[in-house]
Structure 1
Amino acid sequence: MARCAGLVSMGPSWASVEPNSAVPKDEELRISAFHDPPYFFITHHENGSHTYDGYLYQLWQMLACMVDLRYRIIPLTGGGYGRLSGNRTWTGVTGELTYGRADLALSWLGMTSNRTAVIDFLDVIPVSWYQDDFYVRSGPVTAPELRAKTFASLLRPLHEDVWWMLLGSLLVISVLLHVTVRVGRGLSESELVAGQMSWGSCLLNTLRSVVGQGWDTMPDSLAARTVTLSSWILGMLLYASYTAKLMCHLTVPTPSRPLHSLHEFAAERDWIIAMEPGVSILDGWKVSDKPHEREMFQRVENGDRYIELYPTHDNKSGFNIDRVLFHADFRRLRYAIGQESCKLIRLLDTPPNPPIRAYMPIAKGRPALRDKLNRAMLELAETGLVDRIRNRWMTQLQRDCDAPTANYRPLSLTNLLAMLLIVPLAVVASVMLLALEQLYGRTGNWRRQQLVRLRERVSAQCDRYLTRRLKDETQLDGSRSNDVGTEKSLHPYHSISLNGEKAFGNGGAKKTIMKSLA
């Protein structure tokens, strides 16, 4: 181990001429590799020789020294990592291992089901990881326009599912609060509190909890206070989350996107797709049930509006990223197109992929060699040499994009317009409601006044009618008194007075009429 540890260089990289004969061995391994910075560098010389360098090359030197192997590197000119082509044959380093043209490949591949069926891996320690995704060039960052859609920004900090959940929670809390107060009325709740906790009051109180306001009435029972406490907790969590998300939404620039989905890309005829050769996503597109993904596979297969993306220094200058859809790990894009990668932004409809571990591939049928290399890899990882070599080469891939002097933008009037207009809109709404209340109140007063006047007119008419009837009956009684003498009349109207107050048996008819009007 000490003899091989000296191969790790912390200074400038060195060049080694192949084949390597530092450790004599009867068997010479065939190693396949292609130019894949910073994992593997191939430098061509005028005399036809090649020199190699890179992360995987230095790691392999350590492994070969520990296991005492003799090897010969065979540069691969095309095919990349390798994929299953239309004629069911493998390309790239996967094809070299599958068809016996190489014993091991200095590359880093994901262990997909298609690959594990034809090749093996040194799977004890991953040599790297990747997180492929789709990127397009971002548009300019502009201030939002003053239009109706601006007010929708107040809802953007939370997903619409959260708003629906919140509405449902408020209704449930209101129902529980009202039910607990009503059930405990007279027992654990006072009559005053139960009378004030109506449906409208319960809804208003839960809304107050959301906006951080207090309640004017507190329930007395333990069950109702438990519901109250849950509404307050929900309100505090929502208030804090909403405020933080809203500030981030307003202060963090949100660039526009020329595309939002792969379906839109497939419909565009002047867009180009760029990806590294041999990526595994093509195998999924080939058998996908989505027509636009199968169409994209055919485009890549036929080379129609397709660019093979190689992470070389040559691509960094003059690479036009307009109307190009990239599919790669962002760190690889940094190495492939340089600072232009800082102008890229991820598509919205594709969820972020989790990081995938990548391993060094080896041909099937070599179990003894595979076990030796796995043990050597584990020993290197335990001593920290794998991380040491990887960190040395991956530092340039982990550099951030050049950031502006400030990573936030000042809030403009347009940004805060939706919030600032809440007060004037509330004033307008209050004035309109006040006008409606005044109109309704005056209409009600006018109707009550009209009803009082109608009752007065009816009462006057009843009085006149009863007075006439009284005079008629009095005259009739006078004529009858001459016949019956001075005997007291038994007529039912004998008790009617001239003012009509006791007409029809103590005023019964008039009272009946007035009650119907009331």
Structure 2
Amino acid sequence: PYVMYKKNYMHLEGNDRYEGYCVDLASEIAKHVGIKYKLSIVMDGKYGARDPETKTWNGMVGELVYGRADIAVAPLTITLVREEVIDFSKPFMSLGISIMIKKPQKSKPGVFSFLDPLAYEIWMCIVFAYIGVSVVLFLVSRFSPYEWNLEEQDETKDPQTPPDPPNDFGIFNSLWFSLGAFMQQGCDISPRSLSGRIVGGVWWFFTLIIISSYTANLAAFLTVERMVSPIESAEDLAKQTEIAYGTLDSGSTKEFFRRSKIAVYEKMWSYMKSAEPSVFVKTTPDGVARVRKSKGKFAFLLESTMNEYIEQRKPCDTMKVGGNLDSKGYGVATPKGSALGTPVNLAV
């Protein structure tokens, strides 16, 4: 979104061939400073990094260092290493390093999806509570005289008919009573003793709370689309090996990991520099394409502004996960000691 060719750029000339945020920014800076300018794209397509062996600079930074350009208006990150050889204006945009992954598929409902509204631990507690209440009700009925049928045998009843049980709340009837209450269906028997009714009342209140919570959560689960992301932070990336991750080659993001002294980032850099095949990409579009083609097996580390922009563009199959790994800004660059430095800074 910073610098792009117009659709009909082949029929246009000069600065009219380009459009984007940085193109508009360059135009406004030129108006405030009172200069004429010509936009050009760097040949290698890089922002600028120093070769550790030859100590030479490439990309836009190299164009400024070696006098082939007067101003660099681009999403050029302000870093300490770059400020040693070029001057930066105040940041015109704040950002940070972020993680891009392929958007996971929406989870399909399974056979046991009805269990999702409550956690596994909650379901286990309900099962144990159900068994516990049934056992307590059984024991209470055993010890309470009000639960026993002590009436004399009816003489008119058929002698072949089995006699009524002396106590309605055997272990199986106790389980049936608790299950009927939990399912909000009731039961054909009920406790007659005070202690039994207290146990039953407590169980009814418990089931009322559980059923109400379950119903509310079930409605939310049915209306909200759920997606499960395998990665949520840089720590998640560092502690696994199934998903590869990399950065733009010859850029500030790569330099950030190379120079970082934080244990997590040192571990990530150790993986990236030794990974085979290489996890570094030449351009941002190459990194985005690799994320899309990898079927969730590659994460791209890039600036949050670009990450958020791509996430909102069709085909909308990438997403930003977690927070930013650092905080920095984009600045307009000029050669070291250039007379344009102060006017450009004031214009920004």
Are 2:80 and 1:113 aligned?
yes
Are 2:328 and 1:363 aligned?
no
The structural deviation recorded for 1:362 is: 1.4
The structural deviation recorded for 1:259 is: 4.3
Residue 293 of structure 2 corresponds to: 320
8 Å contact kept, 2:249–2:282 = yes
* C-alpha distance 310-142 of structure 1, shift in aligned 2 (>3 A): same
Structure 1, residues 392-446: CA drift from partner, whole Å, max 9, x if none? xxxxxxxxxxxxxxxxxxxxxxxxxxxxxxxxxxxxxxxxxxxxxxxxxxxxxxx
Residue 185 of structure 1 corresponds to: none
Question: Which of 61, 65, 74 pairs up with 1:94?
Answer: 61
Residue 228 of structure 1 corresponds to: none
Aligned to 1:110, the other structure's residue is in SS state: coil
* C-alpha distance 80-130 of structure 1, shift in aligned 2 (>3 A): farther
What is the CA–CA distance in structure 2 between the aligned matches of 1:346 and 1:57, rounded to whole Å?
Answer: 29
What is the CA–CA distance in structure 1 between the aligned matches of 2:256 and 2:343, rounded to whole Å?
Answer: 34
Structure 1, residues 69-100: CA drift from partner, whole Å, max 9, x if none? 23333321334322334434433212222333
Residue 464 of structure 1 corresponds to: none
Residue 171 of structure 1 corresponds to: none
What is the CA–CA distance in structure 2 between the aligned matches of 1:336 and 1:343, rounded to whole Å?
Answer: 7
* C-alpha distance 353-286 of structure 1, shift in aligned 2 (>3 A): closer
Residue 24 of structure 1 corresponds to: none
The structural deviation recorded for 1:105 is: 0.4
Residue 126 of structure 2 corresponds to: none
Aligned to 2:284, the other structure's residue is in SS state: coil
* C-alpha distance 310-150 of structure 1, shift in aligned 2 (>3 A): same
Residue 57 of structure 1 corresponds to: 23
* C-alpha distance 67-279 of structure 1, shift in aligned 2 (>3 A): same
- Structure 2 residue runs without a partner (length 5+): 124-212
Q: Percent identity?
A: 20
Q: RCO higher in 1 or 2 (8 Å CA, sep ≥ 6)? A: 2
Are 2:96 and 1:131 aligned?
yes
What is the CA–CA distance in structure 2 between the aligned matches of 1:109 and 1:327, rounded to whole Å?
Answer: 16
What is the CA–CA distance in structure 1 between the aligned matches of 2:327 and 2:21, rounded to whole Å?
Answer: 19
What is the CA–CA distance in structure 1 between the aligned matches of 2:3 and 2:24, rounded to whole Å?
Answer: 9
8 Å contact kept, 1:274–1:307 = yes
Q: Which has the higher helix share?
A: 1
8 Å contact kept, 2:248–2:284 = yes
The structural deviation recorded for 1:325 is: 0.5
Aligned to 2:270, the other structure's residue is in SS state: helix
Aligned to 1:133, the other structure's residue is in SS state: strand
The structural deviation recorded for 1:107 is: 0.8
Residue 69 of structure 1 corresponds to: 35
Equivalent pairs counted in the alignment come to 236
Give the alignment of 1:366-377 within 5 angstroms. Answer: 366=338, 368-377=339-348
* C-alpha distance 292-360 of structure 1, shift in aligned 2 (>3 A): same
* C-alpha distance 136-57 of structure 1, shift in aligned 2 (>3 A): closer
* C-alpha distance 336-122 of structure 1, shift in aligned 2 (>3 A): same
8 Å contact kept, 1:310–1:336 = no
8 Å contact kept, 1:40–1:106 = no
Are 2:233 and 1:263 aligned?
no
8 Å contact kept, 1:275–1:309 = no
Structure 1, residues 292-341: CA drift from partner, whole Å, max 9, x if none? 323344258x97144345359xx78x942522202224552354473344
Are 2:257 and 1:285 aligned?
yes
Root-mean-square deviation over aligned CA pairs: 4.2
Give the alignment of 1:311-460 within 5 angstroms. Answer: 319-322=292-295, 323-333=297-307, 335-336=309-310, 338-344=313-319, 346=321, 351-353=323-325, 356-366=328-338, 368-377=339-348
Aligned to 1:71, the other structure's residue is in SS state: coil
Residue 128 of structure 2 corresponds to: none
Indicate the structure (1 or 2) with the bigger Cα radius of gyration.
Answer: 1
Decide which moves more: 73-82 or 338-347.
338-347
The structural deviation recorded for 1:48 is: 9.3
Which TM-score applies when normalising by structure 1?
0.38
Residue 45 of structure 1 corresponds to: 10
8 Å contact kept, 1:82–1:92 = yes
Structure 1, residues 34-59: CA drift from partner, whole Å, max 9, x if none? xxxx2112466389977222222222
Which TM-score applies when normalising by structure 2?
0.53
The structural deviation recorded for 1:280 is: 1.9
* C-alpha distance 113-64 of structure 1, shift in aligned 2 (>3 A): same
What is the CA–CA distance in structure 1 between the aligned matches of 2:347 and 2:320, rounded to whole Å?
Answer: 40
